C-alpha cells in the first residue's frame, strides 16, 4: 500500500507549504551546523566524517530506515510478463499500524529536508538522483527498492501512467499511454546529461525560465493547430539531498494555452531515496495525489 494518497490540490499545497516552512527554519540554524551540510564525501570519494550533531541526526535517520525495512513486505501486482514491478507494502495493516508507519516516514522526510535543505544539488550524487527519477518517470529503467544488505533485487512499480497492463481484449501487455516525448522541468544544475532511454524521449528544461521555454515550444508547434491542446509535463518541484538520503517531490500538471492549469493532470508523488552501492534506491513512496 502507498502510505498516503490525497486529492491533488490539498496535498500539493500542504507539501509546498511544508517545504517553505523548513526553508525558513533552516535559515535560523547555527553556522556550525551549516558547515556539515556540504556534500558528505572526502576528496577521495569516501564518506566524509560527520560532526557529533550531524552524526546523531544521521543515526536517527538510519533508525527510521531500519524500522521501515523491518516492517516491509513486497507485493507482486500479478501482471506476469508485463514488468509492472513490485509494490512495497507493510505487514501491519491495522489502523494503528498504518498510522505508526506514517509517522516514521513523516519524521524521516522532515529530518532529511531540515538537515539537507542547503546541500548543493549540482554534484555527481545530485545529477545521479535527477537522472534516476527522470528515467523512472519517463517509463525507462526503474529504481531498485532499498533493502537490507544482501537482500533480493526488486524493481519499483511504474509511476503515474508510465506502466503497462494486460489488455483483456488482446491478451498483450500494453502501455497505459503510448511512448512519446516526456517534458521534464528540473531545478537548475550545470552540465546535466539526461538519461538515455530505449523508448520514450526525455526532454529536460531547468527552472522557471526553462518552463516558459517548454510552454512556448509546445504551443508554437501543436497549440497553433489546435487551441484546445493540452501541455503535460513532469516537474521535479523539490529535490533535497542529505548525505545518503534524499526527498523528491514530483508534480505532473496539465495546462491549456500556457496559462490555465487544468484540474485533471496526472497527479504527483513524493519519494524518499537512500543511496547504497553507488546508486539511489527507493526507500518508500511517502505520499501520492491524483
Please check the confidence at residue 8 and state whether its pLDDT lies above 50.
Answer: no
Q: Give the pLDDT confidence score for residue 198 in this predicted structure.
A: 74
pLDDT band for position 227 (cuts 50, 70, 90): low
76 vs 63, more confident: 63
Q: Give the pLDDT confidence score for residue 21 in this predicted structure.
A: 45
Let me know if residue 39 belongs to a domain. no
Mean pLDDT of the chain: 78
3-state secondary structure of 138: coil
Model confidence, pTM? 0.79
Q: What is the pLDDT of residues 176-192, one digit of tens each?
A: 555 556 899 999 999 99
Let me know if residue 45 belongs to a domain. no
Q: What mean pLDDT is predicted for residues 256-265?
A: 63
Let me know if residue 44 belongs to a domain. no
Q: What is the pLDDT of residues 236-252, one digit of tens each?
A: 999 999 999 999 999 98
Let me know if residue 207 belongs to a domain. yes
Q: Domain limits at 162?
A: 5-28+54-289
Instruction: Please give the Cα distance from 109 to 227 (Å, whole number).
Output: 41
Q: Give the pLDDT confidence score for residue 199 in this predicted structure.
A: 65
**Who's near 282: CB < 8 A, 6+ residues apart?**
88, 143, 144, 145, 146, 156, 271, 272, 273
50 vs 175, more confident: 50
Q: What's the total number of domains in the chain?
A: 1
Let me know if residue 37 belongs to a domain. no
E strand spans, 59-119? 72-76, 86-90
Q: State which of 89-103, 118-132, 215-229 shows the largest mean pLDDT.
A: 118-132
Q: Give the pLDDT confidence score for residue 178 in this predicted structure.
A: 54
108 vs 225, more confident: 108
Alpha carbons within 13 A on the beta-carbon side of 87 = 14
Let me know if residue 223 belongs to a domain. yes
% residues pLDDT > 90 (the chain): 42
Please check the confidence at residue 267 and state whether its pLDDT lies above 70.
Answer: yes
Q: Give the pLDDT confidence score for residue 42 in this predicted structure.
A: 46
Let me know if residue 78 belongs to a domain. yes
- The CA R_g of the chain, rounded to the nearest whole Å, is 20
Query: In the structure, how many helices (H) and strands (E) does the chain have?
Result: 6, 14
Q: What is the pLDDT of residues 195-215, one digit of tens each?
A: 988 766 789 999 999 999 998
Let me know if residue 76 belongs to a domain. yes
Amino acid at each position: 500500500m502507498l502510505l498516503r494518497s490525497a486529492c491533488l490540490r490539498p496535498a500539493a499545497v500542504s507539501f509546498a507549504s511544508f517545504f517553505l516552512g523548513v526553508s525558513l527554519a533552516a535559515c535560523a540554524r547555527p553556522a556550525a551546523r551549516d558547515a556539515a551540510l556540504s556534500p558528505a564525501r572526502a576528496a577521495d570519494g569516501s564518506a566524509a566524517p560527520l560532526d557529533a550533531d550531524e552524526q546523531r541526526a544521521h543515526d536517527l535517520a538510519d533508525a527510521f530506515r531500519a524500522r521501515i525495512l523491518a516492517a516491509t513486505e513486497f507485493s507482486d501486482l500479478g501482471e506476469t510478463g508485463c514488468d509492472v514491478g513490485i509494490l512495497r507494502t507493510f505487514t501491519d495493516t491495522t489502523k494503528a499500524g498504518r498510522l505508526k508507519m506514517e509517522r516514521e516516514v513523516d519524521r524521516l522526510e522532515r529530518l532529511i529536508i531540515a538537515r539537507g535543505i542547503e546541500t548543493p544539488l549540482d554534484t555527481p550524487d545530485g545529477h545521479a538522483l535527477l537522472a534516476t527519477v527522470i528515467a523512472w518517470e519517463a517509463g525507462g529503467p526503474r529504481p531498485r527498492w532499498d533493502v537490507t544488505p544482501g537482500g533480493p533485487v526488486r524493481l519499483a512499480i511504474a509511476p503515474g501512467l508510465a506502466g503497462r497492463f494486460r489488455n483483456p481484449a488482446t491478451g498483450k501487455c500494453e502501455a497505459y499511454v503510448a511512448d512519446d516525448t516526456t517534458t521534464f522541468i528540473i531545478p537548475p544544475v550545470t552540465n546535466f546529461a539526461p538519461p538515455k532511454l530505449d523508448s520514450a524521449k526525455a526532454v529536460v528544461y531547468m527552472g522557471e525560465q526553462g518552463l516558459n521555454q517548454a510552454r512556448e515550444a509546445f504551443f508554437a508547434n501543436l497549440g497553433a493547430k489546435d487551441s484546445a491542446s493540452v501541455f503535460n509535463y513532469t516537474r521535479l518541484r523539490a529535490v533535497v539531498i542529505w548525505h545518503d538520503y534524499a526527498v523528491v517531490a514530483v508534480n505532473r500538471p496539465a495546462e491549456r494555452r500556457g496559462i490555465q492549469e487544468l484540474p485533471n493532470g496526472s497527479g504527483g508523488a513524493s519519494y524518499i531515496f537512500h543511496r547504497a552501492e553507488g546508486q539511489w534506491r527507493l526507500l518508500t513512496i511517502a505520499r501520492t495525489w491524483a
